[in-house]
Amino acid sequence: MGMNLTTRHLSAGYGNKTVVSDIHIHISTGEVVCLLGANGCGKTTLFKALLGLIPMQGEFLLDGRPHHSYTQRDRARLIAYVPQTHTPSFPYTVLDMVLMGRSPHISLYSVPSGRDHEESRRILSSLGIRYLENRLYDELSGGERQLVLMARSLAQTPRFLLMDEPTSHLDFGNQIRTLQLIKELAASGIGLLLTTHSPDHAFICATRVLAMHQGKIISQGSPEEVINRPLMRTLYGFDIDVVSQPSGRYLCSPVL
C-alpha cells in the first residue's frame, strides 16, 4: 500500500535564525526525488527537520497524519537516514552496525533476536556485501562503508529513505552501483529523497527534482523540466549547458 510524505509551509533553523522557509514537498513511496542546491542553501537543515532533530514550524504529514502523532519508534520505522559519513565510537563489526538499524523493532532492554540477525544478514546479501559481516566497519573502504550505512538504514524497514549525498567520496564504479541501488529501492516501494551535487545523477535515477536556493524551493518537476541553463546559473553561479545525448538522456556540461 502506498504512503506519502508531505510538508506545507515548513520552516526550520537554529535559534532565532530561519534557514529554510515555506517548504512544500510531496513524496510518494516508489519515487526518487532529488534535491539540488549549492552548499549552505539549507538541504541539511531540511533533512534535520524531517528527522525531528531540530524544531520546525508548518505542517509535516506522514500518510496524512501529523508527524508528531507518531511515537519516535514508529517514525523510525517509517523514515531512515543515510549520512555521508559516519565514524562510530567503538570498533563495531559490519553485522553489529546493521543490527543497530533493527532498534525500532526491538523492545526496550531486549537484545537482537535470531530473526533480527537473519534479517540483517539478508539485507547484507541483497547488497552483495554479506562477506563483510565480520569485518570491522572502520577498516572498510569508503564505498564499502556507504553500502553498510545503507544496509543499516534498510534494516529499519523504512517506507522513506533520506540520503545525504550518497555518491560523495565514491569512485566512479561505486557511484554507478549506488545509483542502480537507488533505482532498485524505489522499485521495491521505498520513497527516496536524496541530495547530490551532480545534476547528471538526477537524470539517471530521479522521477522528480527539487531545486533549493537560499532556503527556499524555487522549482520542482521532472529532471527534464527543471534542470536547465538558467536554473544552473541561479543555483551554482556558473553557466552549465544541458546537452541531449543520442540515447535520449541529458548531461550537464560546464561552459568553461
Tell me: the pLDDT tens digits for 161-186? 999 999 887 888 888 888 999 999 99
With the C-alpha atoms ordered 59, 24, 179, 191, is the resulting torsion angle positive or negative?
positive
pLDDT at 91 over 90: no
Residue numbers of the domain that contains 228: 4-254
Q: Residue 77: name the closest of 153, 157, 135 by CA.
A: 157
Q: What is the distance between the alpha carbons of residues 92 and 90, in angstroms, rounded to a whole number?
A: 6
**Read out DSSP for 49-111?**
HHTTSS-EEEEEEETTEEGGGS-HHHHHHHEEEE-S----SS--BHHHHHHHTTGGGS-TT--
Tell me: the pLDDT tens digits for 3-19? 999 999 999 999 999 99
Q: What is the distance between the alpha carbons of residues 227 and 237, in angstroms, rounded to a whole number?
A: 14
Range 95-104 average pLDDT: 93
Q: What pLDDT, on the 0 to 100 scale, is given for residue 195?
A: 96
**Read out DSSP for 164-214?**
ESTTTT--HHHHHHHHHHHHHHHHTT-EEEEE-S-HHHHHHH-SEEEEEET
Tell me: the pLDDT tens digits for 117-149? 999 999 999 888 999 999 999 999 888 888 999
**Beta-carbon contacts of residue 37 (< 8 Å; ≥ 6 apart):** 43, 195, 211, 212, 213, 235
Q: How many domains does the chain have?
A: 1
Q: What is the mean pLDDT of the chain?
A: 92
Q: In the structure, what pLDDT confidence band is assigned to residue 2 with cuts at 50, 70 and 90?
A: confident
Q: What's the pTM?
A: 0.91
Q: What pLDDT, on the 0 to 100 scale, is given for residue 80?
A: 96
CATH number at residue 28: 3.40.50.300
